[in-house]
Amino acid sequence: MPSKQPLGIELVKRKIVSGEDIEKALKYQETHRSRKIGDILYILKAAEPNILAQNVGEILGKKAVYLDINKIKIEPTDYIPFDIMKKNKAIPFAVESGKIKIAFADIANNDANIKSIKMLMLNKGLVVDVYIAFQTNVEEFLDKYDEKNTQQDIEEMSGNETTTEIVDNIIKLAIEKRASDIHIEPQSDSVRVRYRIDGELFVMTNIPKERQAQLIGRLKAISNMHQEITESQDGRILLYPDYNIRVSSQKNIYGEKFVLRLLKKNSNIKNIFELGYPYDEEQLEKTINKRNCLTIIAAPTGEGKTTTLYSFLDYLKSDNINITTIEDPVEIRIPGLNQIEVEKNSTFSDNLRTILRQDPDVILVGEIRDKETAEIAIQAGQTGHYVLSTIHTIDAVEVLTRLRKIGVSDYDIASTVATTISQRLVRKLCPKCRRERDFDKREIDFIKKIGEKYGIEFNLKDAKTYDAVGCDYCNGSGYYDRIALFEVLSITEELKEMIMAGKSSIEVRKKALEQDYRPLLIDGINKAIAGITNFDELNRKLLIYNQ
């Protein structure tokens, strides 16, 4: 039976630990608030670990285990990929009669992760037998296992492969895995290689430290960088026919780190609706098919702003429209467009002045970074052109604040900015392994709360959601590819008057919500209800439960 007394008191009653041990544990907890008393007693070595685990389990009414080498009866990664073990702090340690025993570091606040692991095991025909284990014990095991994997990777990579072959294999595997970036990072005892796939970083391999100098030399050679310079450099790899690979180097305490951005040449531009644009074509026409104005897309770095701009241009392009872009750099070449790359000794504003003499109809300015670029872009909009650009802000309304901060007048903002769009990328559920379930009470309550807040009735009739499970197709993550969440702010006459009057973004937002503006979260909920993504992913990206 679960105890009605605190865990510490029960352990003292059982003479497993002393009152002095509990006092020390409580003192330790003052500076380690995320640690529970049982885990702290384990850290402080207040009792023999097996006995402590057994008694904690009995007191809490749970199965408990202390993990040591003798308890691990299976190869854990034969059942759960290491990245998923690490993410969920879950370690499989035995299989008996169709049941797999899995130790979890924290089951009190781990329902979603336990469900995810259970579904992953069901796909393998196994039922999960849940055990609790001390958090530190689980973390120690994961660290040891990571070291073991690292050593295996090092041994595999230290065979007869030449440095040229190693670099080539790293890049080719990244292309095969759909990676957007490769991180090659010198560590104290090896060189770690990580891939960014669908926005998340995964460790792929480790290379022996003694190969580091050769590896760096090869990367610099194929990137056209100076071999003798160890400070930051930029380069480009053009050895792979379908890819333009941008390379950046940065010195750190263990050597030079390299990040390779993989950009596919002449890749098909996705239709704006494929990207996740939530409105119909009529609304899209009102948003971007304009003249004498400016449309700005806002989002942090890496949230797909440029991809959305390309989709807009692809939608707009025709033989009787002159479209010119200024980019740093040109990431995707689009037939029919005049694309200009900002050179080292020039700026966006320098190129924009020249472009205005080239009779453009539509101008794309890669990014508004300063007052000068903003003012020329606005001037272009005021003189008959349609200008598209991006800016770094958290949402569509805060674009106004950002423009004010870099020195653009309220008059210029109100008279020229027609639409601001904010977006975030969320991962789509893997179609091969996602597991259907009903929305739980927390999710239903949240949907209703947001519906009441914004006056929206979400269609929950027969609605189902899905848990991310993980399979070979999605590299064990449970997600495959990404989709954008959008919010669109149309600057109406009322909003123009408020901007001209110097009203704050808070006041503008309030008025916009009375019109047709809806924040990113609304699109996110709709995409979760549609089964494209789920609430775990929305919470990861938007921290929805803090709303």
Q: pLDDT tens digits for 357-370?
A: 888 899 998 889 88
Q: Closest Cα to residue 425, out of 468, 481, 470, 490?
A: 481
Domain boundaries for CATH 3.40.50.300 within the chain? 281-546
Instruction: Return the higher-pLDDT residue of 145 and 380.
Output: 380
pLDDT at 404: 95
Q: Which two tokens stand for residue 309?
A: 């701009």
CA distance linking residue 259 with residue 194, whole number of Å = 10
Average pLDDT of the segment spanning 108-125: 79
Q: Which residues of the chain does CATH 3.30.450.90 include?
A: 158-264
Q: What's residue 147's pLDDT? A: 63
> 514: helix, coil or strand?
helix
Where, residue-wise, is CATH 3.30.300.160 in the chain? 7-141
| Nearest one of 365, 264, 372 to 323, comparing CA atoms | 365
What's the CA gap between 543 and 109, in Å, rounded? 17
Q: Which CATH class is domain 7-141?
A: alpha beta
pLDDT surpasses 50 at 1: no
Across 174-178, 342-346, 459-463, the highest mean pLDDT is recorded for 174-178
Please say if the pLDDT value at position 29 is more than 90. no
By DSSP bridging, strand 99-104 and strand 127-132 are: parallel
Are the C-beta atoms of 420 and 491 separated by less than 8 Å?
yes
Residue 525 — pLDDT band, cuts 50, 70, 90?
Answer: very high
The structure tokens listed for 273 are 């609706």
Which pLDDT tens digit goes with each residue over 32-84? 877 889 999 999 999 999 999 999 999 988 999 998 877 788 888 888 888 78
Residue 198 Rama label (left phi>0; alpha psi -120 to 50; beta):
left
DSSP annotation of 460 reads -
What is the mean predicted confidence (pLDDT) over 514-536? Answer: 94
Is the N-terminal amide bond of 76 cis, ω within 30° of 0? Answer: no
Number of H helices, E strands in the chain: 20, 18
* DSSP-derived secondary structure for 371-383: HHHHHHHHHHHHT
Antiparallel, parallel or unpaired: β 190-197 and 181-186: antiparallel
Q: Which residue has the tokens 């740093």?
A: 328
Label the pairing between strands 417-429 and 293-298.
parallel
- pLDDT confidence bin for 109, thresholds 50/70/90: low
158-264: which CATH topology?
Beta-Lactamase (3.30.450)
CA nearest 500: which of 391, 388, 402, 417? 417
- How far apart CA 499 and CA 259 sit, in angstroms, is 42
pLDDT (0 to 100) of residue 547: 60
User: Rounded to whole angstroms, how far apart are CA atoms 33 and 43?
Assistant: 14
Top-tier CATH class for 281-546: alpha beta
pLDDT recorded at residue 483:
95
Above 80 in pLDDT, residue 144? no
The DSSP symbol for 533 reads: S
Q: How many other C-beta atoms can be found within 10 angstroms of the C-beta atom of residue 487?
A: 23
* DSSP 3-state of 528: helix
pTM for the model stands at 0.71
SS3 state of residue 23? helix
Q: Are strands 323-327 and 293-298 parallel, antiparallel or unpaired?
A: unpaired
Element housing 353 (H / E): helix 348-355
Three-state helix/strand/coil letters over 248-294:
EEEEECCEEEEEEEEEECCCCCCCCCCCCCCCCHHHHHHHHCCCCEE
Helices (H), 61-199: 82-88, 111-122, 135-157, 163-176
> What 3-state class would DSSP assign to 354?
helix
